[in-house]
Amino acid sequence: MVFLAGGHPDTSIFGEETLREMASAVVGDGAAALQYGSTDGTGVMRETVAEVMTAEGTPVGAEHVAVTSGAQQGLDLAGRAFLEEGDLVLIESPTYHGALQAFSSYGPRVMTAPVDRRGLDVEAVREILSHERRAGYRAKFIYVVPTFQNPTGATMALERRRELLEIAREHDALILEDNPYGLLRYEGDAVPTLAALEMRERGGPERVVYLGSFSKVFAPGVRLGWIHAHPEILGAMRAARKGADLGPSVLSQTVTAAYFASGEWKTYLGRLGRRYRKRRDAVLGALGEFMPEGVSWTSPSGGFFVWVTLPQGIDAAGMLPEATERGVAYVPGADFYPGGWGGTEGRNALRLSFSFAEPRLARRGVEILAGLVREKMGD
């Protein structure tokens, strides 16, 4: 099976020697590593987060950081802390399906604004929020994956980021900036995060709640991520967390902090980036070579995902069983819209993840998929 479905990083090249060194950090301080820890994460881990965010161009202080069990927990905590049944949230369309799932537990009213090649359409956001305001509603937060978005791979342009900050201020909404892929850029210059822009302007975090993850720059198996936000927001999320868990795994934090302290993570990230870049190029090359006219796709400069749009009338979800039977897996576009498989949006789209399959295999996978699309088009 050519796996172009889940956003799985490649963990195969990490290296046993480094793993052994990390494990010895735990053995050296076993009693502490096996103990309960602080809800916000260990001090060392929060310093590590500050170092990673700074490396990404978002210099922050550890005092504004809480460690979570993955960015996914940050999404859930945002829902727990800020949403009540019927509250308005604004999300991108399409968006990360894990966020849709996390928010839906709290019963919000979800509005969507489209994403194009330059990221979230902020004029649409302005219109929606103004319209809602006239009707007496205010959005609690705007959820956005501004860099190498899941699922489209799009990166939000700098002017749009500035404008989004302004709009959020005007409408007194929080911005939930989910940025697990920001450090995985394969070409071009980095665009500042919303968190960095806000801190530059205001001197500290205000309404941007930044969610980070160790899953893509290191390993999803450690289940570690973080929230960077204003102390009041962190406090609200901490309160919401009570009863959910007693804090992130200390064992996991000890191992991860030891690894990041070695400084080796930057070299490893460079290796990962070169690998992903080749895989992306293989997928984009194969799309160009094999897909029939009428099919279009995005060309991301980083991250894991390519978004493929098929001609109207071709049902990507319906086609999936045949695709997997022939040996290629992808995620149907409908997964990334609030209506899901029962809805009307994204039916003729699909997401390919290029992070996991080696170039030769990925190319074969796209060739199989293109063959199937041709059949459905009646070529």
Chain residues binding ligand PMP by CB under 6 A are 7, 70-72, 96, 98, 145, 150, 178, 180, 213, 215, 220, 225
Q: What's the number of CA atoms in the CB half-sphere (13 Å) around residue 259?
A: 27
Please, what is the minimum distance in Å from the beta carbon of residue 53 to ligand PMP?
14
Q: CB-wise, 7 or 300, nearer to ligand PMP?
A: 7
Q: CB-wise, 37 or 220, nearer to ligand PMP?
A: 220
Cα–Cα distance for residue pair 266/272, rounded to 1 Å: 10
Please, what is the minimum distance in Å from the beta carbon of residue 116 to ligand PMP?
18
Q: CB-wise, 113 or 314, nearer to ligand PMP?
A: 113
Q: CB-wise, 74 or 365, nearer to ligand PMP?
A: 74
Task: Say whether 104 sits in a helix, a strand or coil.
Answer: helix
Going through the chain in order, the beta strands assigned E by DSSP cover: 2-3, 65-68, 88-93, 109-116, 119-120, 139-144, 174-178, 208-213, 225-228, 296-297, 305-309, 328-329, 331-332, 349-353
Please, what is the minimum distance in Å from the beta carbon of residue 227 to ligand PMP?
11
Q: CB-wise, 8 or 374, nearer to ligand PMP?
A: 8
The residue with its CB nearest to ligand PMP is 70
The sign of the torsion formed by the CA atoms of 283, 304, 300, 274 equals negative
Dmax (CA) of the chain: 66
Q: CB-wise, 82 or 304, nearer to ligand PMP?
A: 304
Please, what is the minimum distance in Å from the beta carbon of residue 56 to ligand PMP?
15
Please, what is the minimum distance in Å from the beta carbon of residue 71 to ligand PMP?
4
According to the 3-state scheme, what is the secondary structure of 243-302?
Answer: CCCCCCCHHHHHHHHHHHHCCHHHHHHHHHHHHHHHHHHHHHHHHHHHCCCCCEECCCCE
Please, what is the minimum distance in Å from the beta carbon of residue 60 to ligand PMP?
18
Q: CB-wise, 72 or 256, nearer to ligand PMP?
A: 72
Among 318, 233, 231, 214, which Cα is nearest to 272's?
Answer: 214
Tally of CB atoms within 10 A around 363: 20
Cα–Cα distance for residue pair 234/254, rounded to 1 Å: 22
Please, what is the minimum distance in Å from the beta carbon of residue 64 to ligand PMP?
19
Among 170, 182, 171, which Cα is nearest to 146's?
Answer: 182
Q: What is the DSSP letter of 23?
A: H
